[in-house]
Amino acid sequence: MPDRPTYGFDTLQIHAGTRPDPATGARQTPIYQSTAYVFKDADHAAALFNLQEAGYIYSRLTNPTVGALQERIATLEGGVGAVCCSSGHAAQIMALFPLMTPGRNVVVSTRLYGGTVTQFSQTIKRFGWSATFVDLDNEAAVRAAIDDDTRAIFCESISNPGGYVTDIPAVAKIADESGIPLIVDNTSATPYLCRPIGMGATLVVHSTTKYLTGNGTVTGGCVVDSGQFDWSQNDRFPALIKPEPAYHGLKFHETFGELAFTFHGIAIGLRDLGMTMNPQGAHYTLMGIETLSLRMERHVENAVRVAEWLEKDDRVDFVTYAGLASSPYADRAQKLYPRGAGALFTFAVKGGYSACVKLVDSLELFSHVANLGDTRSLIIHSASTTHRQLTPEQQEAAGVAPNVVRVSIGLEDVNDIIADLDQALCKATAG
């Protein structure tokens, strides 16, 4: 279907990127389980390899099922294009790859998923890159952290694990004034609750594993290109503006304009890094997105009820949910995220580390897993699992002190969710 501004979110999440299969008329997008595609003739093959014609060569680069998903996510996020890949962590590297060279740095939020903190503080050093961690609420500190080698600012729209909501327009303004892109991880919010591009973000990344798929079956990632950044405004991004030797001197921005980043992500990123999304995974995510708005409404509704109940419970020290009226981020959440502050947050259990462990072990309905965004309610003690590789100071900064657990509120009957937490808290804090 043609994508028009008049179509609503509910329509686009079902139709964007997909059309009846031209060969069979199949209404659901087929799983194109093929590694390669037959060329019409030698000239057709040459045109594809020269990036003179769009089409399919090899599924490490492009695949019809994955292509449908890319178009759908880009449409929902308000971008011009997208590149899907094997995981959310892969998407983060894919987003940075065209921007960075050895010696360059990225300014990142202190409120990030623990695995992302490790990726940015340790792993990217092997590429010769570095990261400067800053509290993005401190605009002076953000500006001070940006130097001549900075190539991007990175944040999460709704942070994992604490549910902190980022003031995206404020950060985007700093990025714009500095002539660098803002990259926003929108995994926890999804485009239903937040559209970072409309707030000034240049790129949006997702772990499609989470709410977009919504059922805990496959891993995947995506990078969405806003098409709004002028890569040629300065000489900081040579990969996008200078001649590319592998394509006979082609200049991506000059040739592809607003789609420069997207084409580079496919023609260079997927070609050389090989972080490919498999077509069956793309199929599961396409089906999941069809009900995204319905699921997110219930996730938020349940999360509000659970957070309000926990906040009133004497066995709980505090709750970090931005959807609570008592949250220091309540006004920001209502302004920037009017449909809700997501369904991911933390709470502190009286009794500390041991009480948290006992709470997790006593739950019956909740699943103890290192995941979020499932239809099922999930819990994890971050300090002993996802964030255990961080220092105590980093854990505190990330909001995962030893007395804190993270919950991802699912779609079950909210009274059953609360009852399960109640019985587990009784056991965890007894005596």
Class (C level, CATH) for 292-429? alpha beta
d(CA 348, CA 390): 19
**pLDDT tops 60 at residue 210:** yes
Is residue 101 within 8 A of residue 127, CB to CB? The reply is: no
d(CA 156, CA 131): 15
**pLDDT tops 80 at residue 37:** yes
Quick one: average pLDDT of 86-109? 98
Sheet holding 182-185, edge to edge: 81-85, 221-225, 203-207, 182-185, 150-156, 105-109, 130-134
Task: Please enumerate in sequence order all residues whose Cβ is within 8 A of that of 369, keeping only pairs 6 or more positions apart, or say none.
Answer: 216, 378, 380
Q: What is the pLDDT of residue 155?
A: 98
**pLDDT tops 80 at residue 4:** no
Domain coordinates in residue numbering, the chain: 9-288, 292-429
Dihedral angle sign, alpha carbons of residues 335, 340, 343, 347: positive
Q: What percent of the chain has pLDDT over 70?
A: 97
The greatest distance separating any two alpha carbons of the chain, rounded to the nearest whole angstrom, comes to 78
Distances (CA, A) of 230 to 118, 124, 223: 30, 25, 18
Q: What is the pLDDT of residue 283?
A: 97
d(CA 152, CA 108): 8
Nearest partner of 276 among 66, 97, 69, judged by Cα: 66
Instruction: Show the beta-strand stretches assigned E in 197-314.
Output: 203-207, 221-225
Tell me the pTM.
0.94
**pLDDT tops 80 at residue 179:** yes
**pLDDT tops 80 at residue 389:** no
Quick one: average pLDDT of 285-295? 98
Give pLDDT tens digits for 120-178: 999 999 999 999 999 999 999 999 999 999 999 999 999 988 889 999 999 999 999 99
**DSSP reduced 3-state for 423:** helix
Question: Which CATH number describes the domain made up of 9-288?
Answer: 3.40.640.10
The whole-chain average pLDDT of the chain stands at: 94
Q: What is the pLDDT of residue 1?
A: 45
Q: Which of 6-15, 45-54, 285-294 has the highest mean pLDDT?
A: 285-294
Q: What is the pLDDT of residue 288?
A: 97
Bridge partner residues of 203 (DSSP): 183, 225
397 vs 76 pLDDT, higher one: 76
Q: What is the pLDDT of residue 2?
A: 47
Q: What is the pLDDT of residue 306?
A: 98
Quick one: average pLDDT of 247-266? 96
Q: What is the pLDDT of residue 385?
A: 77
Nearest partner of 84 among 13, 17, 172, judged by Cα: 17
Nearest partner of 82 among 229, 215, 221, 242, judged by Cα: 221
